[in-house]
């Protein structure tokens, strides 16, 4: 009986590395909104809203461009968090709490998305 040995070369396969999403955290409390960084790179992103306050808060995010889409995180109760995943294009984005009177009282921030 003949034994046949087969040798297989193990060659690493090159894979296109997909970048991890850029991350930014928006911290909300009465009545302020602070973001963890002033800018992120364009492409996939995760925006997290953390509510450190005693009131409910939400978050809207829109690029300052005609016809731009508005992204939203729904109401986050005190002590809670929520996030959204989106593909962000380069530009300036405005973030704000949409609950009555919150934006006017200072719950807004600007995020720059770089190329």
Instruction: Identify whether the C-beta of residue 79 lies closer than 8 Å to the C-beta of residue 44.
Output: no
Q: What is the pTM of this model?
A: 0.82
94: left (phi over 0), alpha (psi -120 to 50) or beta: beta
- Give every CB contact of residue 111 below 8 A, 6+ residues apart in sequence: 24, 35, 38, 39, 40, 61, 92, 93, 95
pLDDT in tens, the chain (115 residues): 555 554 445 555 556 677 799 999 999 999 999 999 999 999 999 999 999 999 999 999 999 999 999 999 999 999 999 999 999 999 999 999 999 999 999 999 999 999 9
Alpha helices in the chain (DSSP H): none
Residue 18 confidence (pLDDT): 75
Q: Where are the beta strands (DSSP E) in 9-56?
A: 22-29, 32-35, 39-41, 43-51
Task: From 57, 59, 10, 61, select the one nearest 30 (Cα to Cα).
Answer: 57
DSSP 8-state secondary structure symbol assigned to residue 111? E
Residue 17 confidence (pLDDT): 72
CATH topology of domain 22-114: Immunoglobulin-like (2.60.40)
Residue 14 confidence (pLDDT): 56
């Amino acid at each position: 009986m003949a034994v046949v040995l087969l040798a297989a070369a193990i060659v690493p396969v090159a894979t296109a590395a997909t970048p991890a999403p850029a991350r930014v955290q928006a911290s909300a409390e009465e009545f302020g909104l602070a973001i963890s960084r002033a800018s992120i790179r364009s492409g996939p992103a995760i925006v997290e809203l953390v509510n450190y306050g005693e009131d409910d808060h939400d978050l809207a995010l829109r690029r300052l461009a005609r016809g731009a889409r508005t992204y939203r995180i729904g109401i986050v109760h005190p002590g809670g968090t929520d996030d959204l995943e989106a593909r962000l294009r380069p530009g300036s984005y405005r973030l704000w709490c949409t609950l009555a009177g919150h934006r006017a009282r200072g719950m807004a921030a600007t995020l720059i998305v770089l190329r």
